[in-house]
Amino acid sequence: MALKGKTAVVTGAARGIGYAYCRRLAADGANVVAVDIDDPSDAVQELEGGDHLGLVCDISDPAQVDAVAGTVLDRYGRCDILVNNAGIFPLADLDHLTIELWRKVQAVNVEAILLFARAFAPGMRANGWGRVVNTGSGITLTQNRDLAYLTSKGTVHALTRALANELGESGITVNAIAPGLVPTEGFLGRTRENGPTADEVFARVTALQTIKRQSVPADLGNALAFLVSDDADFMTAQILHVDGGMTRTGA
């Protein structure tokens, strides 16, 4: 119960990696606010202990982010841990990527991090303690050709470092977890015409890993538990690759 008394806000929390984050934070004693564009109420009902809350929010809309922040601060008085996990990853190559889709990906995957940080960092500063953890991606070091998504995740890594530089003197750490390939609903729902099946993709990736098993969302939850703990007090501005050794070096 290392996080007892602390409040954590997790975006993209209704399923997959985000829900694994919620489960781990709740198990460690935190009050968890699960935020998702889809109603996360059912997911919240399954969390153990604490005073948990599910909120629907389009995180690309600044007004909706402000409304979520207001609800959190009214109910709990603080946000100690901010986990920016929500993201979208449409398949579109250069010939089919519209400027509207490009901007939507950046708004959800990048700008929302800035909006939530702006909302909750003042309270963290006042308390002299805070943890911000963003979900990056190991995709930035691959030959992947999903232009909008890859660019957004590279920017997430840069924004993580920039926020860490600004907030470090206030007792706030900012890091990112960069997963490898994880069998979530979001990934399994992606299909590319005449491309490999999900099973074929996972087989190829697992063969390249040092640890020869498929990643699961709980692997990311375990990494998160460390980053938000007092044990990680001296760790900030880092991109932590949690991918079974797929990434041996990089940024």
Write down the catalytic residue from 19, 21, 76, 149. 149
Phi, psi of 11 (to 5 degrees): -95, 155
Q: If 0-12 CB within 10 Å is exposed, 13-18 middle and 19+ buried, where does residue 143 land?
A: exposed
81-89 mean pLDDT = 96
- Domains parsed from the chain with CATH numbers: 7-242 (3.40.50.720)
Residue-level length of the chain: 251
Bridge partners of 11?
Answer: 35
Tokens, residue 1:
């119960």
Say whether 149 is catalytic.
yes
Task: Give yes or no for residue 188 having a pLDDT over 60.
Answer: no
Task: Give yes or no for residue 128 having a pLDDT over 80.
Answer: yes
Query: How confident is the model at residue 191, as a pLDDT?
Result: 55
Q: Kindly tell me the number of DSSP H helices and DSSP E strands found in the chain.
A: 9, 7
Tokens, residue 201:
């993709």
Percentage with pLDDT > 90 across the chain: 73
148-177 mean pLDDT = 97
24-53 mean pLDDT = 96
Q: Is 36 left (phi over 0), alpha (psi -120 to 50) or beta?
A: beta
pLDDT digits 0-9 by tens, 200-223 = 777 888 888 788 888 889 999 999
- CA–CA separation, 70 and 20 (whole Å): 25
pLDDT digits 0-9 by tens, 98-121 = 999 999 999 999 999 999 999 999
Write down the mean pLDDT value for the chain: 92
- CA–CA separation, 242 and 172 (whole Å): 22
